[in-house]
Structure 1
């Protein structure tokens, strides 16, 4: 299953890509919000998105809102993965439609479990 990684920090993106591949997923890294939205329309689109909040061109919250407004991609499972751990930011993201929220620095085992949970939820929808 494809996992879109929308992360502008190269080191974090590379670590996520390597881990996600090792966990049996197909990572698709992009480094800004505009590229993230374009990647959502690939022929074999991702079903899970790891979305950083603070990115160039278009921030993660704007990307999330755009995903939820488009009937073609609105059922995408979105996990916000960001340094913004305050209650207001978490609430704003969940209200905007995020399925999950992970604060950096993240625990690798926890993130793997959340991706497995996302995959299970998606498989129930598409099968």
Structure 2
């Protein structure tokens, strides 16, 4: 399965990428929402996207809205992974079409738990 990490922080992309690869995902990265939309169009099917809120060019909320407007992305699971801890931000993200919400800082266990909640199958024993 393929997962996309959309975050302007190279360090965060590396950490999330390592977690996802240990769970058996092939990882695609993007530094902002616009780049992520381009990669979604170019890449073979992506099952999951982990999306930061605060990014230049196109932020995470704008990305979520754009993804949900395109019916070809109907099966894509969206997990916001962000420092935005305000309940209004969480509600806005979920209303826009995010499937789940995790706050930074996160642990590998939190990411695995969120993937379980999303029903995304991961390889057992690879964590």
TM-score when normalising by structure 2: 0.88
Contact map agreement 1:51 1:79 (CA 8 A) in 2: yes
CA distance in 2, matches of 1:90, 1:77: 16
1:124 is matched with which residue? none
Cα deviation, 1:22-70, whole Å, max 9, x if unaligned, reads 1111111111111111111134121100000111110000000001111
SS at match of 1:106: coil
Cα 1:43–1:30, aligned 2, differ >3 Å: closer, same or farther?
A: closer
1:115, CA displacement in angstroms?
2.2
Contact between 1:39 and 1:45, CA under 8 Å: does it hold in 2? no
Give the Cα separation in 2 of the matches to 1:33 and 1:41. Answer: 12
Matched length: 120
Q: Structure 2 CA distance, aligned partners of 1:102 and 1:13?
A: 15
CA–CA distance in structure 2, aligned partners of residues 79 and 48 of structure 1: 8
Moved over 4 A (4+): none
SS in 1 for 2:24: coil
Q: Which residue of 2 aligns with 1:64?
A: 64
- 1:112 lines up with 2:112 in the alignment: yes
1:68–1:75 contact (8 Å) kept in structure 2: no
Does residue 78 (structure 1) correspond to residue 78 (structure 2)? The answer is yes
The equivalent residue for 1:33 is 33
Structure 1: 5+ residue stretches without partners: 121-127
* Residue matched to 1:91: 91
